[in-house]
Structure 1
C-alpha cells in the first residue's frame, strides 16, 4: 500500500492520478475541510470523466492530519511506501509559527512513523527554497548548502527544517528521496499558488518584475518522484526545474496563451518598500501584514538552478515550461467557459 499525504493539493492530486494509472493501491490522507472534488476535477483534465470517476473511487481516503499522531498512525497500517506532499505554503510574516508547526513538526511525525513502521521508501516534496544561495550568480545545485546567517523566508526555514527530519529518518534506516521543485505550474488550483498567475492575468494584471526563478510542470514533478522511488536510488536529493525564466517571461507567455494584454508596468523596489512600510504600521493596529522585508528583497534577486543531477540519474527530460504554460492556459480557458 502506498500512502500519499497532501493528496488534495496540486502535486498530490497529480501524483494520485499517476499512481492509479499504473495500477497502484493508494491511500490518501485528507483533512476534514479538504475538497475531494478538486482531485476528481484534476483527473478529468487528462482522462475521460467516466474513467476519472472510476480511478478516483479506487483511492482509499483516510481522514487525518499530519499533526494528529493517533490518526496518522492508523493511516500507516499496511503501508510500505510514503509520498509526503502535505505542506503549508505562505509568505505572510504572521504565519511563521504555523509554518514551522505544519512543515517541521508535521514532517517529523511522518518521519517517525516511517522509522517505526520500517517503511521501504520515503519521498518528501521539499522546495528549491530550502537550498543554499549561489555565489557569483552561478547555478544553484544540490551541493549549495544552507547558510543560517543569510536572510531566509519563514517558508524556506520551515522546508529546510522539514528536510532535516527526513534526513534523520534516512539515518535511522529508512531509504529516502527528497525532491526540490521550483515554482510548479499546472492546472486545477486557480486561486492558490502559481494558479493565481492565470487568474490574475485573466483579470488584467498589468505589473511584472524582472526576477529570474526556476519553474517546472507538475506532471514532470510527479513523474520524477515515481521514477526515483521505483529506482534503486535512495538517500539523495534532486532539483526539479525545467527552465530558469524571468517572471516577465512567464507572465508574458501566460498572457499570450490566454489572449490577454501583456503586463507592461514594471514593479520597482520603492513601490514595494512603500507597501511594506504601510503594512508594518498597520501591524501595530492589528492588521495582518502580507509583505515582508525578505519578500521585497527576493523579488529583485535572481535564483537560477541546475537540473543535471536528475537528468543523469534517471535519464529524465523536462517538458519546456512554455509548453506547460500553453497547456495549463488552455485548461484554464475551458474551466472558465464552464
Structure 2
C-alpha cells in the first residue's frame, strides 16, 4: 500500500494512474471538497480500476490522524500544496506547505514508514544571473522572493530533517507544470485565459514540463530508490509568448499580440488589486504573479537523465507542444460545453 497526498490535483491524478497501472494499492488522502468523481473518471478513461484506490478523508495538519492514515504503508508521495501569489494567502500557504510537511514527517518517523517522495518546486532553488538553474543552486531569501518560494523552501527543510532522523527521502523540483487539470486554477488556468481571448502576453521566459512526466518521475525515482537527492524536472525552456502562441494555434483563435512590457507591470497589478477592493472579486494579477512573468529563467535537468541512465532507464520528456495540444483539446471540450 502506498500513500498519496494531493492525489486529486494536476500531478496527483497522473501519479495515481501510474501506481494503479503498475498494480499498486493506493491510499489517497482527501478532503470533503475533493473531487473524487473527477479522479475516478480520469482512471476509467485510461481503463484503470478505481477500486484500487482507498479514500482516506482527513486533515494534513492533524498529526494523530496522519499517523493512523499512513500506518501500514510502504511509501508516501507528498504532493499536496497550495500555490498562490496572492498576499492574503501567505500565512495559509506556510501552514499547508511547511507545517503540514513537518507533521507528515513526524508521523512517518513515529509509525515507521521510511520512504518519502516529496514534490517541491524550482521556486525552492536559488537563481544565478545569466546561468541556468540546477539542483545545487542554493536558495537565498530577499525582497523579490515570493511567499510561495519561502513556503516550498521551508517544506524541503522539513524533508531533509526527516532524512537526518532516519527517513529515505527525495525531492522533485519541477518547473511550470502543464496538463489538463482544473482550468480555473494554477497553470491550467493559462489555457482558459487564452481560450477566452487573451490579447496580452508576458515578455519573460520559463521552464515547462508535463504533469504526466512529473508523476512518472515520482514513481520511477521512488521505485529505483534514488534517495538523498533533489531532482529538477524541466522539459523545455520557452518564452511565454511561444507557449501562448501554441495554445492559441491549437484553439484555432488569434494569438495574443500585445506584449506586457516591464514598465507596465506596476499598473497591471495595482489596477487588479484595486478592482478586488472595489468589487470583492479576487484579483487575477498580483505584484508577485506579474513580476515572475517578465523575468527570463532557464533550467537544466541533467541529474534525472544521468541517474536513471545509470540504472539502465532511458528518460525522455514529452514535447511541450504535444502537451499543449492535448491539454488545449481537453480545455476546449470542457469550456466549450459550459
- CA deviation map 1:184-237 (0-9, x unaligned): 111132221121122111111111012111100011111111110011321100
- Residue aligned with 1:57, SS: helix
Residue of structure 1 in register with 2:153 after alignment: 160
Residue of structure 2 in register with 1:110 after alignment: 104
- Residue aligned with 2:331, SS: helix
Q: Which moved more, 1:230-239 or 1:288-297?
A: 288-297
CA distance in 1, matches of 2:74, 2:285: 42
Residue of structure 1 in register with 2:113 after alignment: 119
- Residue aligned with 2:186, SS: coil
CA distance in 1, matches of 2:270, 2:182: 31
CA distance in 2, matches of 1:278, 1:331: 32
Residue of structure 2 in register with 1:28 after alignment: 28
1:86 counterpart = 2:80: yes
Whether the 8 Å contact between 1:180 and 1:238 is mirrored in structure 2 is: yes
CA distance in 2, matches of 1:147, 1:101: 21
- Residue aligned with 1:139, SS: coil
Of 186, 189, 192, the match for 1:196: 189
1:71 counterpart = 2:65: yes
Whether the 8 Å contact between 2:85 and 2:288 is mirrored in structure 1 is: no
CA distance in 1, matches of 2:143, 2:302: 26
Q: For 1:135-174, what aligned pairs fall within 5 Å after superposition?
A: 135=129, 137-149=130-142, 151-174=144-167
Matched length:
331
CA distance in 1, matches of 2:180, 2:278: 38
Once the two structures are TM-superposed, the CA of residue 282 in structure 1 deviates from its matched residue by: 7.2
Q: Which runs of 5+ in 1 are unaligned?
A: none
- CA deviation map 1:20-46 (0-9, x unaligned): 00000110000111111121232245x
Q: Which moved more, 1:168-177 or 1:31-40?
A: 31-40
Residue of structure 1 in register with 2:312 after alignment: none
- CA deviation map 1:87-129 (0-9, x unaligned): 0111101111101011100111111112222223100000111
Residues 324 and 281 (structure 1 numbering): CA distance in 2 closer, same or farther, change over 3 Å?
closer
Residue of structure 2 in register with 1:324 after alignment: 323
Once the two structures are TM-superposed, the CA of residue 285 in structure 1 deviates from its matched residue by: 8.2
Residue of structure 2 in register with 1:299 after alignment: 293
Once the two structures are TM-superposed, the CA of residue 170 in structure 1 deviates from its matched residue by: 0.6
Of 216, 221, 245, the match for 2:209: 216
Residues 274 and 149 (structure 1 numbering): CA distance in 2 closer, same or farther, change over 3 Å?
closer
Please give the root-mean-square deviation of Cα atoms over the aligned residues, in Å.
2.0
Residues 203 and 299 (structure 1 numbering): CA distance in 2 closer, same or farther, change over 3 Å?
same
Q: Which runs of 5+ in 2 are unaligned?
A: 310-314
Once the two structures are TM-superposed, the CA of residue 331 in structure 1 deviates from its matched residue by: 2.5
State the TM-score, normalized to the length of structure 2.
0.92
Whether the 8 Å contact between 1:2 and 1:81 is mirrored in structure 2 is: yes
